[in-house]
Amino acid sequence: MLDTGIKVLFEGNNITRLLDGLWVTTRIALISVILSVFFGTIIGIGWSSRFRIIHVFARFYLEIMRIMPILVLLFLFYFGLTRIAHINLNAEMASIIVFTLWGTAEMSDLVRGALTSLPKHQKESGLALGLKSFDIYFYILVPQAIRRLLPATINLTTRIIKSTSLVVLIGVVELLKVGQQIIETASLLRNQTAAFWVYAVIFLLYFIICYPISQLSFHLEKKWQS
């Protein structure tokens, strides 16, 4: 039973198919992370400014994103845009939009947190050293903000990667979907335990990708804590 089941992984091009599926997943995650960092930084900087209207807007946006499960957002955008607004949009695009919206919200909160927590006296001691405000920004404040931000941003990346598994539920052909296809074929060939092995491998693939990234975030955080 054991050997027939595990065989499915090495049949045909199953391994490469799974890796292709994994690439779809990571592609969605990567694009979303890059866009989130970009938009999140802009909104975060605006949020840490004095304009009250931005505060209200950003807070509202963040709360919505925090209350709604990602899967609900995926349904909302995919079915909402295609069925209700009749916009022609494939599921992968819808996923990227949703993860970007969500990631942007989280990122803007991180940026705001990092900027507002920078101690004031840092700026003053910079002034005391005779630095111009531009220099203060680029040599003192920005490097410190990045140190605070980077671990959390990396952590956000793993959260987005894990969430990308959900896109199978709106029909993107990614890792889990490829897995399902492989299992279906295998069960036609009377391979009963294929499902166990395929899902175990997918479980491990996610772990192999996320674990090093979370370790990196953890170590950076520890290193830069002091």
Partner 1 sequence: MTLFLSVSNQMDLINEGTILIGMDYLFFAKYAPLYYEGALLALNIAAISVILSIMVGLCCACIHYYKVPLLKPSVSIYIELSRNTPLLVQLFFLYFGLPKMGIRFESESCAIIALTFLGGSYMSEAFRSGLESIGKLQLESGLSIGLNKIQLMRYVVLPQAFAIALPAIGANIIFLIKETSMLSVVALEDPMFVAKDLIGMNSDTKEALLLLVVTYIVMILPLSLILTFIEKKVRHAGYGH
Q: Using CB under 8 A, which residues numbered 78 to 107 contact partner 1?
A: 79-80, 83-84
**CB-nearer residue toward partner 1: 66 or 219:** 66
Question: Which phi and psi angles does 27 have, rounded to 5°?
Answer: -60, -45
Beta-carbon contacts of 86 under 8 Å, excluding residues fewer than 6 positions away, are none
End-to-end CA distance of the chain: 54
197 by Cβ neighbours in 10 Å (0-12 / 13-18 / 19+) ranks as buried
User: Minimum CB separation from partner 1 for residue 3, in Å?
Assistant: 13
Q: Which of 169, 173, 216, 220 binds partner 1 (CB under 8 A)?
A: 169
Going by C-alpha positions, the residue among 113, 144, 102 that lies closest to residue 48 is 113
Decide if 162 contacts 210 (C-beta within 8 A). yes
With contacts defined by CB under 8 A, name the span among 14-22, 115-123, 136-144, 162-170 that binds partner 1.
162-170
Sign of torsion over alpha carbons 64, 26, 168, 217 = negative
Our finding on whether 5 is near partner 1 (CB under 8 A) is: yes
**CB-nearer residue toward partner 1: 117 or 192:** 192
**CB-nearer residue toward partner 1: 85 or 128:** 85
Our finding on whether 176 is near partner 1 (CB under 8 A) is: yes
**CB-nearer residue toward partner 1: 146 or 200:** 200
Distance CA 55, CA 59 (A): 6
Helix axes 91-116, 70-79, angle to 10 degrees: 130
Our finding on whether 196 is near partner 1 (CB under 8 A) is: yes
**CB-nearer residue toward partner 1: 51 or 207:** 207
**CB-nearer residue toward partner 1: 47 or 197:** 197
With contacts defined by CB under 8 A, name the span among 48-56, 68-76, 102-110, 130-138 that binds partner 1.
68-76
Beta strands in 106-173 (DSSP E): none
Residues near partner 1 (CB under 8 A): 5, 63, 66-72, 75-76, 79-80, 83-84, 158, 162-163, 165-166, 168-169, 176, 179, 183, 192-200, 202-203, 206-207, 210-211, 214
